Amino acid sequence: MRAVFVDKDGTLVENVPYNVDPAQIALTPGAAHGIAALARHGYRVIVISNQPGVGLGKFPLHALDAVQARLADLVTLDGFYFCPHAPNDGCDCRKPAPGLIERAAREHGVSLSESWLVGDILDDIEAGRRAGCRTVLLDNGNETEWQLTPERRPHHVARDLGEAAALILEQ
């Protein structure tokens, strides 16, 4: 089994900081087409997201239930995994750590070496590489630091999730 692990904010949906209002959740350009194409070709599509708003007290954990339900209304997903910890909590699930990806792979019987991670910042790319996935960075302006190391260098770069899906399907 293979998967494409997709970052949520800025990759799958428009980036609205700390947003848990389903009415404000909108897919990014190319997202619906890209997700559907990946699913048609046998990839499991699993969201992997840092949600520090929980750990920072900006919204309660249960608010993410409505986010997950809204995403399910917009696209077909095989899983929704999130890290609820604040940035400095030292957990192993917050990207760039690979913990969430590894957990999702175990629970879905996914081979990480046959899987991909698509994200819009280099922390996403690092998490994917550390988990053993190939990676695609969406160059949409969300990465601002560009501290490239071997772990943070994407395998491919795309404009949006639709283009990323096309790249993955060409491999």
Calpha distance 133→112 (Å, rounded): 5
Q: Which of 9, 120, 124, 160 is catalytic?
A: 9
pLDDT at 140 over 90: yes
pLDDT at 21: 97
Kindly list the structural domains of the chain, giving each domain's residue range(s) and its CATH number in brackets, ordered by start.
Answer: 2-170 (3.40.50.1000)
pLDDT at 143 over 90: no
123 a catalytic residue: no
Q: Which tokens is 151 given?
A: 């772990």
pLDDT at 123 over 90: yes
pLDDT at 124: 98
The more confident residue out of 62 and 141 is 62
Identify the H or E element spanning 117.
strand 116-119
pLDDT at 150 over 90: yes
Calpha distance 103→122 (Å, rounded): 20
pLDDT at 3: 98
Phi, psi torsion values for 50, nearest 5 degrees: -80, 130
Work out the percent of the chain whose per-residue pLDDT is above 70: 100
- Distance between the two ends of the chain, CA-based, in angstroms? 16
pLDDT at 35: 98
Identify the H or E element spanning 125.
helix 122-131
Q: Which tokens is 112 given?
A: 């990480």
Q: How confident is the model at residue 57 (pLDDT cuts 50, 70, 90)?
A: very high
The pLDDT tens digits of the residues spanning 11-28 come to 999 999 999 999 999 999
Task: Select from 155, 170, 118, 169 the least CA-distant residue to 140.
Answer: 118
pLDDT at 145 over 90: no
In this prediction the pTM is 0.96
The pLDDT tens digits of the residues spanning 34-50 come to 999 999 999 999 999 99
Burial of 54 (0-12, 13-18, 19+ CB in 10 A): buried
160 a catalytic residue: no
pLDDT at 29: 96
Task: Give the three-state DSSP class for 158.
Answer: strand
Q: Which of 7, 120, 123, 160 is catalytic?
A: 7
pLDDT at 147: 87
Calpha distance 121→147 (Å, rounded): 10
